[in-house]
Structure 1
Amino acid sequence: MNKLILFCISLIVFSACQNKPTKTEEVDDGFMPPPIWNSSMQNMKQTMISLQPYIFNKVLFNDQDNFQFLSKSIHKLAIESANIKHDPMILNRDPTVRFVAHQFADELQRADENFKGSWKEYSRSQLVKVTSYCLECHTRLHQGPAFQKDDMEAPFMKTLPVADQIEFQVAFRKYDSAYKMVIENLSGKIKNKESNFKIDRVVQLGLLISVQYLKDIEKTLKITQAIDHNPSVPAYLKQSNEMWKKSIENWSHQGNINTLVQIRSLVSGRISEIEDMRAISALLQLLTNDLNQDELGEALMLTGQSYEALHAISVMSLDENYYESCIRKTPETKWAPICLKKLTDSLVMGYSGSGGTRIPWHVTAHLEELKNVIKKSEANK
């Protein structure tokens, strides 16, 4: 049993994250204790299994013939998440873990509301994002539940595109097998027959594994070498590869980074995504230390900033959570207004499209509430 009991525990990664913390007077909103699964988890597990093909298929999800089934299933998840009991133990090592736990339930409730409204695609993105919380939980500090071999052999898993298979290997912390799959696909050892094979996503996931999770510069170099030696890799990836090589060269000179000063310097001299991956890895560890308010605010802001820079990679971006965490935990610092602006910009972007920007009332109300958190703190100075 690991020392840190994480809230994402389940046999399937999809079912691991549908919990709603109970608000208590002793704990700030958004920083809740981890849940203890009850019998409701099994129901959620089955519901998520039935939803999997739709969540990862835009056409099926938006097909009117599937509306009743999806509406009922999504609502069921939102309702059942409220039935999860909670462990009174509060995680102290990383306050953002509890924040993410609180957001699981919120995402489900919003996905339910948005699906019934006119934001179906945003609802789908929220359901995908729920999975990203599981990935984040299982990979952040290499702690949490151990998984059995059978967990990775679900029939549905093999029907997923290569990139999604790699992603779920990561979710189960099977880094070596995920990395092997990346190299095989990049080197041309496996002739991929997928009509929509996204080699750029495979490359980025490979970097995520070797840089952020394994912190292995040699494995990262092998990815760049595989790209160099594969003539079928698109030209734009070849160009990006040159930037990754420069980042790796800097990495070889800098070595490991541990302090806020080092992390700040790293991201300010950003060359490619590799700097953000290294920063996140270091920041997640730094957040387990005893930081003063100013240090905590900056660390949370930098974490959100790096996650935002990695938005295009997989579904693991949790920048909005870290920005909100920055506001709630350090409202009196100079970082809170910065985080509020970054959060606002991110949310506006999420609700923007060809038809303009349509921000739901609850999002506007939520931002206003966060503004008041800062104002209240300023008034108390």
Structure 2
Amino acid sequence: MLSSFASTKDYMHVAFDSMMELSPYLVDEKKFTDPKSEEKIHTYIDNLLMAFKGVHSSNKLKTLDYAPSLSVMRQHLEETKIAFQHKQKFFARNRLNATQSLCITCHAQLKTKASQTVLSQMRAKAWKMKSDFERAESFYVLRDYPTSIRYYEKYIEASLEKKKQIGFISFSKIEGAFKRVLSYYTKTSFKPEKALSFVETYKGNKVLPVEFREDLNQWSRDLNKWVNDKKLMKTNSVKDLETFYLAKIEKQRESSRSIIDLMVLSGRVLNILKYHRSNSEEPIALYWLGYADRALNFSYYYSMADMYLVDCIEKFPRHEYGKKCLNQYKESIQMGFTGSAGENIPDDLKNRIKKYEQLIGN
């Protein structure tokens, strides 16, 4: 434990050390869910939460396109700890990956010697990962996207070649690699034309399962639509984006929503926040970012849905989108723990939801 005189720098060292220790578990789902790992992971989560509770500043980094307050980060970690304690390990692991990704985003934009040292040490650890897929995952979180994409593509090519030779391999990680590359080109870098080029390369590859080739062909059609949509790039407000596109998606049945539409439009929301920022549109942007991340459900990248939604609730409780964010948050917690019935939500989270309902005025 740190003393009461510990500085923010001391606490951030604890957070960094905890993230470094968690890293091998975050890139390996089997290792994370292994009962033998529980005690260590629980300790690292505890240390991480303690570090963020100890930080003295309540500010966020103004340079980021999106950066939650320390209050939101603390709550995110508290809920992650609760999820892990209640054996919701898939949910907890993806939340920790989102935390790690956000931490790296902050360090990447702080040009201090300490932050660059943090990144250097994490890169060194990434290079030591055993497989190309694990290496790609690590560099993805580190926001070294060119290196990450290179290793995802290397992994895909090697896996398809292996399938040619032996006839069968597990497809889950191959599909995961495709989805990460797709999410980078659509949401993170907002370059749907590059996503289309990537999909076109593989959509006719007969080594891939028939069902996945059908997905690739559907993605190709959806991406073609966005690449040729001239109005999208001329829409420079989130409210107009909602009017022209997002509201229509919200009305669709869940089963008929296009994942490409969700990723491209959330990428455009982030793009607008970066280049055409308007504080009056922040609650609308937070709602739609949370909505899209929830709908994609961790499948394509590390979801920050709950952080977006809680930030919206706490900062804009009287705004009409504050209530919409609360509804999305409640559904997220219900689904994260027990499905739509919500019968096994821990009391801590039930009380938090009640607090937010009072704040909103439900």
TM-score (norm: length of structure 1) = 0.72
Residues 96 and 360 (structure 1 numbering): CA distance in 2 closer, same or farther, change over 3 Å? farther
1:77 aligned partner, one-letter code? L
**1:120 and 2:71 are equivalent in the alignment:** no
Task: Tell me: CA distance 1:66–1:197, structure 2 relative to 1, closer, same or farther (3 Å).
Answer: closer
- CA contact 2:136–2:152 (8 Å) conserved in 1: yes
1:331-359 deviations in Å (ceiling 9; x for gaps): 33332222222211111111116998301
Q: CA RMSD in A?
A: 3.6
Distance 1:221 1:66, change over 3 A: closer
2:77 aligned residue (95, 102, 108): 108
How much identity, in percent, do the aligned residues show? Answer: 18
For residue 172 of structure 1, report the CA deviation from its aligned partner. Answer: 2.5
What amino acid sits opposite 2:96 in the alignment? V
Q: What is the deviation of 1:89?
A: 5.7
User: How many equivalent pairs are there?
Assistant: 332
| Corresponding residue to 1:283 among 269, 294, 311 | 269
The alpha-carbon deviation at position 84 of structure 1 amounts to 2.8
Q: 1:330 to 1:57 in 2, by over 3 A?
A: same
**What is the letter of the counterpart of residue 250 of structure 1?**
K
TM-fit CA distance, 1:198: 1.7
Tell me if structure 1 keeps the 8 A contact 2:27–2:137: no
Q: Does residue 258 in structure 1 map to residue 246 in structure 2?
A: no
Q: What is the CA deviation profile of residues 54-90 of structure 1, one whole-angstrom value per residue up to 9, with x for unaligned ones?
A: 455555555555554444444333333333343x765
Cα distance in structure 1, aligned partners of 2:40 and 2:259: 39
Amino acid at match of 1:267: L
Code of the residue aligned with 1:307 in structure 2: it is D
What residue is the counterpart of 1:230 in the other structure? Answer: 205
1:205 aligns with 2:180: yes
Contact 2:203/2:213, CA 8 A, preserved across alignment:
yes
C-alpha distance in 1, partners of 2:122/2:147? 14
Over 3 Å counting, the alpha-carbon distance change for 1:180 and 1:79 in structure 2 is: closer
Q: Aligned pair 1:219/2:194, yes or no? A: yes
Q: For the Cα contact (< 8 Å) 1:186–1:226, is it kept in 2?
A: no
Superposition map of 1:1-381 within 5 A: 37-57=8-28, 60-61=31-32, 65-86=36-57, 91-92=61-62, 97-99=67-69, 101-113=70-82, 115=84, 117=85, 119-122=86-89, 125-136=91-102, 143=109, 151-154=122-125, 157-159=128-130, 162=133, 164-187=134-157, 191=161, 195=170, 197-255=172-230, 256=233, 257-264=235-242, 265-268=244-247, 272-287=258-273, 289-292=277-280, 295-352=281-338, 357-375=343-361
The letter of the residue matching 1:290 is S
1:104 corresponds to which letter in structure 2?
M
Structure 2 contact 88–337 (Cα < 8 Å) conserved: no
Aligned-pair distance for 1:361? 0.7
Give the SS at the match of 1:39.
Answer: helix
The answer to whether the 8 Å contact 1:107/1:126 transfers is no
SS of 1:120's equivalent in the other structure is coil
Residues 217 and 248 in structure 1, CA contact (< 8 A), matched pair in contact too: yes
Cα contact 1:93–1:287 (8 A) shared by 2: no
Distance 1:113 1:316, change over 3 A: closer
Task: Label 1:189 to 1:339 Cα distance change in 2 as closer, same or farther (>3 A).
Answer: closer
CA 1:154–1:77: 2 relative to 1, 3 Å: same
Q: Partners in 1 of 2:125 and 2:268 — Cα distance?
A: 33
Q: Does the CA-based 8 Å contact 1:40-1:80 persist in structure 2?
A: yes
